Structure 1
Amino acid sequence: MPTPTRITPESLHAAAAEILERDGRDGLTMQAVATALGVRAPSLYKHVRDREHLVRTVADGVARELGDRVDAAVAATTDAPSAARAIAAAARRFAHERPNGYALVFGPLPESERADRAALDRASAAVMEVARRLAGEEHALDAARTLTAWMHGFTAMELAGAFRLGGDLDRAWEFGMEHLLVGLSGGSAVPGR
């Protein structure tokens, strides 16, 4: 008799994340993950309660991965404007590489499927710190929300193919980023460019 496959949190997440990117959130089912892992669906219930918990588990992992990428991008910078650019660029790259995973972090989901608060807080820690450095303590949350909303709006429109007037999207991204940074830093000149 063959030895049953041992399911680990890592193997479960890897299989689920691959299915999510290939088949979308609707295709992320207990049966699909079980098949990918070479087990029967009831075996997964030792690791996740139900499909909602499966989606939430994947969302947690995606939020942590995005946070790791943002942290790595910020670590290579020396000033707040460069860090803000690096954060936005890392999130944009992630969205293009993992659009369905990105949607688990930024898209509308039932509360039961959203990444947990700790994963989201961890993913946004660098954004908050950079916003604090750009706009000051009093305006840090507002600045973080503005930066995130601009980055997400641009990226979501880009992924949806909504920019149909032509032109260079990378140039538009840079233009928006530069003007946003001037605004967030109180209208002062923005170093790093």
Structure 2
Amino acid sequence: MATNKALDSTIKVLDTTANPAPLGLMGFGMTTVLLNLHNAGYFELGSMILAMGIFYGGIAQIIAGIMEWKKGNTFGTTAFTSYGLFWLTLVGLIMIPGMNLGEKTSLPAMTAYLFMWGLFTAVMFFGTLRANRALQFVFLSLAILFFLLAARDATGSAAIGTLAGYEGIICGLSAIYTALAQVLNEAHGRVILPLGQVK
């Protein structure tokens, strides 16, 4: 039986689209810093943090995740889409009781919520081991942050909450650094800010 060689050939398309990771990392990093400034006790939980959670932490990361999907990056798709939806669910947990659409989430329920995000992040950390040191630090520090926040809600300890706030600021700043390093390194065509590439 004759085969059609034209149908058997492979078409390769060169991907010239932009790297979406800096957008996702900036959305995550800036929102995380601002929320954890609140956790560390510097200001109240107000509309500024909620708006950042919806638009930059939430929607911008989901957009980055969709763009990673188009690039065939399963890790990036899963990470950015999941953390974008984390921010939207967190805002929902805060706002839904105020709109009389549900009861305020109990501390045991919040502990479970934060622990599950910590578990997810801990497993995702292993996906960074072949990436770069900067991204590894972001995911490891984020896993620690989720577990600290879960411990805060499980114990009611204000001290753990404050510690989580400072740890979260470091985590968020590391994501901002990783994002800006990618932007500047690409813009200049050389390493301006090192990411610690894994050999």
TM-score between both structures, scaled by the size of structure 2: 0.30
Q: RCO higher in 1 or 2 (8 Å CA, sep ≥ 6)?
A: 2
TM-score between both structures, scaled by the size of structure 1: 0.30
